Every structure is written in C-alpha cells, then in structure tokens.
Amino acid sequence: MLSNLSTVYALFEVLGTGPEAGPAPEAGTATAPETAQDTTADTAGQGAAGVPLLRPVPLAPLDRFDSDLLTIQKYAGKTNELFTKLLVNMTCMALERPATMLTSTLRVLDPLCGRGTTLNQAMMYGFDAAGAEVDGKDFDAYELFIKTWLKNKRVKHAADSGQLRKDKTRLGRWLDITYAPTKDEYKAGDTRSVNFRGVDTLALDRVFASRSFDMIVTDAPYGVQHGSRQQGTSAPSRSPRELLAAALPTWLRLLRPGGAVGISWNTRVLPREELVETLRSAGLTVHDGWPFDQFRHRVDQAIVRDLVVATLPGHRTAG
C-alpha cells in the first residue's frame, strides 16, 4: 500500500548489518551501499556507531497508465491531482476491508465529478469509475478528453454516448466506456469501465443500481459551480451544506455495506464538526481524530480545504 502514497520517492527497510540484515535484494533491484557490507555493528541490529542501515524496497504502485492521464487537463477549478489521489487513498483505508484496494476491482463513484479527475485516478488504479456532473460543458470536455487520450495512447476500448431517459423523462446524457490497459486483457474480457452521467446528482439512484459501489469519493463545491440545481432556479448549488444534506441519502443508497465515503470541502463555508455530524446522522461511521483530522490546509484566501472519510457499517459482499 505504501507504494501508492500520493507522493513517494523511495521506500526503505530499517535493518542492521551482517546476518541480521536479512537476504540481499534480488538482482536488478536497488541495494544498500557496498561499504555497508564492511561495517561492523556496534550492537545487534545496528550499523556503525549504532546507526541502523536502510535497505531500499522496490516500489510496486497500482498505476496502470502514464501520469499524463491525470496531468494533461488544465482548467479553472481543477482539484490538484495529488490531492485527489490522497482522497482516494484515504477512502480506500476507510473500507471495511482496506486490502481490497490491492486485490479487487473496486467500483468508485464521484457524484460531483466535474471534468473527471477522480474518474481518471480510479482508472489509474484499475478500478471501475462512475461519475455524475450536471454541467453540460464539463460533460462535453470530459468526453472529448478521455476519448482522445485513449485513442492517442492506443488503449483498446469501446465508447458510446447518448441521451439519458427514464420512464419517458429526459434526465440528461450518458457516456459509457469499456477498456483494458492491454490488448490481451481486452481480448480476454478482462475489462474496466467508465460510466459518466450528465445528470443532477439527486437523480443518481435513478440511473445507477442500488448497492453497486464500493466507494464514493468527491470534492464538494467551494467556488466552482457543480452538483445539484437549486430549487426554483437553473443555477447549480454552491452550498456544500445544502447539497450534502440533500444528496447524502441518494448517494448512500448506491453504496455497498462495508463501503466508504470520502469528501473534501471548504471549511470556511462548512465547519468540520457540522459535516461530521451530518455524516453520522446519515448512518455512517466517521473516522475522526488523529490522523484523520490532520489534512486541513489553505488553498487560497477564500478556501481552507479539509477531508473526511467514513464507513457504511455492514459486511462488504461484492468485489
């Protein structure tokens, strides 16, 4: 799991010299300096002068694609891709079974997905991704980007889109993509999916099946309009307080028991204590206290961002 930290340069194992240092790394991997082999330990499990030795550990990230999947898109209001990765990772840790991050094809929903930064991070990890965005311009931008990127990278895929209707009512638009990182995987049917819905987030339980997602990961609005239409207006709501209170019941109907929710938001417009209470009132188990309350940081003069993760109690049955 440590190989998938939002920022990681190298990992090291702390050990001593001589027989206590353990077997040497396999050929082709980084090793401790040769001079360390000639050092006499002063005490068991320590190097010269009582200083432990560090042996490099090869990184094994989940990433299935080049990093430009996350970095190419540039637009006002884009959530930093490293922060998005952090939020996805923290939500994985809040799963009833966190290790499924490494062993299963998790299904991730961003119900306020904008132009798809969270969806792209899910793709990087080999997860199935789904998102909703009420802004038609964002829908168009993501459809153009992801189709172009897959084509330019020669990723085997199939894509289709159209108008989304339910019970003779037009809800919005849909985009479905099936792909695989390699041609052999695609040929074998070992595929992943991206399902983008250009709909109001409050209508998601009409377009996705109940209990069909392992994780809900989203960046609540704090300056960029997205989410749900304000009642009686055509403008998307900017208030995370109103939006989350209205949308959480819908979102949680889509989450599997044992699944997790991760939300980032602007604490200047919604205090942490209030959001935590909203999540608990919805039936979630919030992970609060250290280290979960250590991520608050200033983005700019108007935005102080934080994140919170929570678990939906119950045994996870899918994946």
Domain 68-311 -> CATH class? alpha beta
pTM to 2 decimal places: 0.82
> Do 276 and 288 touch, CB atoms closer than 8 A?
yes
State the pLDDT confidence band at 277, using cuts at 50, 70 and 90: very high
**Contact residues for 134 (Cβ-Cβ < 8 A; gap 6+):** 172, 198, 199, 200, 201, 226, 227, 228, 229, 236
Positive or negative: CA dihedral 269, 272, 275, 281: negative
More confident residue, 264 or 4: 264
Query: What is the overall mean pLDDT for the chain?
Result: 86
In the chain, where are the structural domains located? 2-57, 68-311
- Least confident range from 20-29, 85-94, 190-199, 272-281: namely 20-29
Residue 26 scores a pLDDT above 70? no
Residue 227 scores a pLDDT above 80? no
Cα distances from 243 to residues 129, 208, 275, 309, in angstroms, run 22, 19, 11, 17
Rg value, the chain, Cα: 22
